[in-house]
Amino acid sequence: AGYGNIVPVTVGGRCFCVVFALIGIPLAVTVIADVGCLLAASVPVVCSRGWPGPIESRPSLKSLVTALAALLLLLGFLSVGALLFVHLEEDWDFFESFYFCFITMTTIGFGDLVPRKAQYMLLCTLYILAGLSITSTIIELVRLEYAKSWKRVQALAEALRRLGEADLKKALAAAIAGAAASSDPQKGGADWEKAFSNIVRPKQEPKIIQVVIYETTV
């Protein structure tokens, strides 16, 4: 989170911090992201076992309920952490504790509120790691829903494209049949060109501009 309350002050400490961050940050992000992907994949499986009938038959409703369940899980985890820090930090109320948990889990880390007792730093670290995993799970669930929505949009666009091609083929076939049925070759060719032009460049109705003039006694 980077609260800024504990910082290196020597050149050697700062150099070590740079090297450690270059190695540790990608490793930590990878582990947390993998845990989030694993939890995100398990959430639909766990939820699918208890879906009621009306929800099971509606995929969009299933996605909404899954998102709400994940959001409630995150809010519950933040609330549990807030209750924990209310007891650990005597001068924090519930709102300040909840604010600290939210700022930490979203990796904002202002540093205006930080734990001060070294006795429970390990517990705080474990809570932060678990919270980051849950936050990563929420982000992964949102990403999966966006991916599913994008696939549905692509499928709809492909269906519309095929439908347009089918209508174009039907119109061309009708134009060819009309040109072939004409007894006059020149007239048939002209009809074919006219039909093809109407398909490719549909006729647009001319725009009508209405001008209204008001007369006053002024």
DSSP output for 25-64: HHHHHHHHHHHHHHHHHHHHHHHHTT--HHHHT-HHHHHH
For residue 46, the number of C-alpha atoms closer than 13 Å in the C-beta half-sphere is: 9
Residue 41 predicted with pLDDT over 60: yes
Distance CA 100, CA 97 (A): 5
- DSSP element (H, E) containing 160: helix 121-181
Higher pLDDT, 121 or 47: 121
CA-closest candidate to residue 136, choices 108, 102, 105: 105
- pLDDT the model gives residue 83: 93
Higher pLDDT, 49 or 195: 49
CATH 1.10.287.70: does it fit domain 11-155? yes
pLDDT in tens, 162-207: 777 776 667 667 766 766 665 555 555 555 556 556 555 555 556 5
Distance CA 2, CA 104 (A): 9
Average pLDDT, integer, range 13-22: 93
For residue 207, the number of C-alpha atoms closer than 13 Å in the C-beta half-sphere is: 2
Three-state secondary structure call for residue 121:
helix
Weakest-pLDDT range from 35-39, 187-191, 206-210: 187-191
Domain ranges in the chain are 11-155, 161-200
CA-CA-CA-CA torsion sign (3, 9, 10, 11): positive
Distance CA 196, CA 173 (A): 10
Distance CA 23, CA 21 (A): 5
pLDDT in tens, 67-119: 787 788 889 999 999 999 999 888 899 999 999 999 988 888 888 888 888 78
Among 60-64, 94-98, 135-139, top mean pLDDT goes to 94-98
Q: How does the average pLDDT of the chain come out, rounded?
A: 76
> Residue 120: how many CB atoms within 10 A of its CB?
16
CA-closest candidate to residue 105, choices 26, 186, 159, 32: 32
- DSSP element (H, E) containing 15: helix 11-48
